[in-house]
């Protein structure tokens, strides 16, 4: 495996992102627009839970990280469908780059996006919203890393299962809303109806929210369990991707 070829593929995808930066900007800016609307509801919910010093940032920032993180699943898919739309996929495959190098190279740009999103949301967002990490910053980063891994493997699985970018886009958009909803990322978890709370633990985003919450609020709750669940979901996505991903599948991309 050649790190140079992986770097070349990653660099090319980052250039494509830079050239078409508006969607990336939206994913960065929109959480900051929504946070002030949702913060009071999360503050109220945390106060009801007994956290009287809570500002609401403890949940609204992870909520936005989870919700907008899911859009990265679409970006992973986009990286592949764009190659098909530009007729460069077969060229890439016919080059000396091995399959594993192509796949890893195409994971780099979305992973860097995830890191940038995490740093901005928890750094700048935390500063603006008054977030105090009472637990462990390291644990927070570990949850973010596990969640990012889940996002990119799910992006691969969605690409493997969907024949066209329109299909993938629909799956990602609907999936984002559903998974964010069940996780308590858009509405405080304690305000979800009982049946929704019962379903939540089978949803990956729930474990991301739990992990962030435990890392931020502390109080002895471990992030190990949420991280293990996130890694388990990442493994499941990776298995689906490796089962269904065919390099010679004809995908309907776009220009």
Partner 1 sequence: MLRIRNVHKNYGDVRALSGVDLEVDSGNIVALLGPNGAGKTTLVSIVAGLRKPDQGQLWIDGTETTDRPQLAQRQIGFAPQEVGIYPTMSVRDNLRFFGELNGLRRQRLRTRIAEVAEAFSLTDLLDRKGRNLSGGEARRLHTAMIVLHSPPLLLLDEPTAGVDVQTRNQLLHLIRSLAEEGSAVVYSTHYLHEVEELEASTVAILVSGGIAASGSIPHLIGALGGASVDLRFSGAPPELDLPEGTIPVGADTLRVPAEDSPAITAASLLQSLDGAGSQLREVKLRQPSLESVFLAVTSDLISGDGAP
Contact positions toward partner 1, by CB under 8 A?
4-5, 8-9, 12, 15-16, 19-20, 86-98, 247-248, 255
Closer by beta carbon to partner 1, 4 or else 52:
4
Closer by beta carbon to partner 1, 202 or else 247:
247
Cβ 165 to partner 1 shortest distance, Å: 16
Q: Enumerate the H helices of 86-203 as residue ranges.
A: 89-94, 99-119, 126-129, 137-161, 165-183, 194-199
CB 72 within 8 A of CB 110: yes
Cβ 247 to partner 1 shortest distance, Å: 8
Which residue carries 């890694």 as its tokens? Answer: 231
Closer by beta carbon to partner 1, 56 or else 105:
105
CB 217 within 8 A of CB 51: yes
Cβ 101 to partner 1 shortest distance, Å: 9
Do you know the residue count of the chain?
A: 255
Q: Tokens standing for 57?
A: 């940032």
CA 221 to chain centre: 23
Q: Tokens standing for 44?
A: 């109220």
The residues, any chain, with a CB within 8 Å of residue 3's CB and separated by 6 or more, are none
Closer by beta carbon to partner 1, 77 or else 153:
77
Cβ 99 to partner 1 shortest distance, Å: 9
Cβ 97 to partner 1 shortest distance, Å: 5
Cβ 162 to partner 1 shortest distance, Å: 21
Closer by beta carbon to partner 1, 53 or else 248:
248
Closer by beta carbon to partner 1, 84 or else 213:
84
The residues, any chain, with a CB within 8 Å of residue 56's CB and separated by 6 or more, are 38, 39, 40, 41, 42, 43, 44, 46, 129
């Amino acid at each position: 495996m050649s790190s140079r070829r992986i770097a070349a593929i990653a660099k090319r995808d980052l250039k494509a992102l830079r050239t078409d930066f508006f969607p990336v900007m939206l994913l960065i800016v929109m959480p900051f627009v929504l946070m002030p609307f949702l913060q009071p509801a999360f503050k109220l919910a945390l106060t009801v839970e007994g956290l009287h010093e809570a500002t609401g940032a403890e949940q609204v920032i992870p909520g936005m990280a989870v919700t907008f993180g899911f859009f990265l699943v679409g970006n992973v898919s986009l990286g592949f469908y764009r190659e098909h739309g530009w007729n460069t996929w077969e060229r890439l495959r016919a080059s000396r780059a091995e399959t594993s190098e192509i796949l890893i190279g195409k994971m780099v740009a979305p992973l860097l996006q995830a890191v940038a999103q995490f740093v901005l949301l928890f750094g700048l967002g935390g500063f603006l919203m008054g977030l105090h990490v009472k637990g462990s910053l390291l644990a927070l980063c570990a949850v973010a890393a596990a969640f990012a891994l889940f996002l990119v493997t799910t992006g691969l699985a969605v690409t493997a299962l969907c024949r066209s970018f329109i299909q993938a886009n629909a799956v990602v958009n609907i999936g984002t809303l559903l998974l964010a909803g069940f996780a308590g990322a858009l509405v405080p978890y304690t305000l979800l109806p009982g049946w929704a709370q019962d379903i939540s633990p089978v949803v990956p985003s729930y474990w991301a929210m739990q992990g962030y919450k435990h890392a931020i609020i502390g109080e002895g709750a471990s992030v190990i369990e949420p991280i293990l669940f996130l890694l388990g979901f990442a493994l499941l996505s990776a298995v689906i991707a490796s089962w269904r991903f065919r390099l010679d599948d004809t995908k309907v991309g776009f220009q």
